[in-house]
Copies of this chain bind each other. A is one copy, B any other.
């Protein structure tokens, strides 16, 4: 009889095999592929990954687990809020950039798989937004981002740092992205983001000289 720990270990091994197989074939693999590759019975694989999409969900979970750990650690830390914001983005960016440099093809492949199954990835994006809303609330309690709702502040910040959070944009910009620039953006946000109308948009319709 298998203990829960045995099943967990086997599950982890199978996920590793599946990822290796995906990288070799350049496309998603099924429970049948995984059974053939590991010379296991299909019933055995189905018992561990029952239901449509469970194998891919497990792979996504594995992919994002370090990001979740980073976010939890940063939010729970007692760094000054501005440092928290920076580390919240920088540590995940550093990890993604390294993955891209190590193996651009595999990076592109997972990006493609993820974009094709956005509904499975959505939960992790929502989780990142959840942690970020805690950081924004803390920043506002300390007087930053005055005059903005949490949602409005989050939306603007997410757009200003998208180069450092979107794997698609990371691929587009490559080495033009640096931690120093990310720090410059976070500093700009803390020095300048508020609900005050700074006049960029103007009050009247566009009228050029």
Contact = CB atoms under 8 A, between A and B. Distances in A.
Q: Which of A78, A85, A90, A187 has the most CB of B within 10 A?
A: A187
Contacts of A196: 187, 191
Interface stretch (A3-11, A45-53, A201-209): A201-209
B166 A172 contact: yes
Given A169-B169, A188-B188, A191-B198, 8 more contacts: A79-B202, A79-B209, A86-B200, A160-B185, A180-B201, A184-B193, A190-B192, A191-B192
Interface string A78-104: 111011011100110000000000000
A86 B179 contact: no
Interface in A41-95: 73-74, 76-80, 82-83, 85-87, 90-91
A183 B209 CA distance: 20
20 contacts: A77-B208, A79-B208, A82-B199, A87-B208, A90-B201, A156-B184, A156-B185, A156-B188, A159-B177, A160-B188, A166-B172, A183-B197, A183-B201, A187-B196, A187-B199, A188-B192, A188-B193, A188-B198, A190-B200, A191-B194
